[in-house]
Amino acid sequence: MATILETRGIEYAYADGTRALSNVSLTIEEGRKIALVGPNGAGKSTLMLMFNGILRPDAGEVLFRNERLDYDSRSLRKVRQRVGMVFQNSDDQLFAPTVYQDVAFGPVNLSFPPEKVKRYVGYALQYVGLSGYERRPP
């Protein structure tokens, strides 16, 4: 199987000095389902925020499809087209007034034409069993 995401020796501490991650190495292969479990404060969310460059490790490296993640805008845009985040608290995730606008956020910000955005929103909602919710309010 191909490796999609990998971390090698990730270290991270928050500004207040709290150590969130210490020497974390992880490989996620295509087609695998992975569960990260642990108590609050264990570093699960911090690690997830590393996968698409929202947070940058103090030490170690993050790889996407065997390429080291650089933190310039071009590299971040490339990885964020493939690695997204769904937040645990829906109030942190949903920010648009309609389901359509929330789902369309990514494709719109990638400058897709309106018809392609509409098509991709339909695909995404169908994939998760929410077809019909893409309808915009009158």
| Residue range 21-41, pLDDT digits in tens | 999 999 999 888 888 888 988
* Mean pLDDT, the chain, integer: 85
Range of the domain at 53: 3-85
- Are 51 and 104 in the same domain? no
- Are 60 and 123 in the same domain? no
Strands annotated E in 46-137:
59-64, 67-68
- Are 48 and 18 in the same domain? yes
- Are 110 and 73 in the same domain? no
- Are 111 and 61 in the same domain? no
Instruction: Tell whether the model's pLDDT for residue 7 goes beyond 70.
Output: yes
User: Does residue 72 fall inside a structural domain?
Assistant: yes
Q: What pLDDT band is residue 136 in, cutting at 50, 70 and 90?
A: low
User: Does residue 74 fall inside a structural domain?
Assistant: yes
- Is 25 buried (19+), middle (13-18) or exposed (0-12) by CB count in 10 A? exposed
- Higher pLDDT: 89 or 108? It is 108
Domain count, the chain: 2
Say which CATH number the domain at 43 has.
3.40.50.300
Beta-carbon neighbour count of residue 15 at 10 Å?
Answer: 5
Q: What pLDDT band is residue 138 in, cutting at 50, 70 and 90?
A: very low
For residue 133, the 8-state DSSP code is T
- Are 51 and 68 in the same domain? yes
Instruction: Tell whether the model's pLDDT for residue 92 goes beyond 70.
Output: no
Spatial distance between the Cα atoms of 9 and 23, rounded to a whole number of angstroms = 4
- Are 59 and 8 in the same domain? yes
Q: Is the pTM value of this prediction over 0.75?
A: no
How much is the pLDDT for 94?
A: 59
- Are 65 and 30 in the same domain? yes
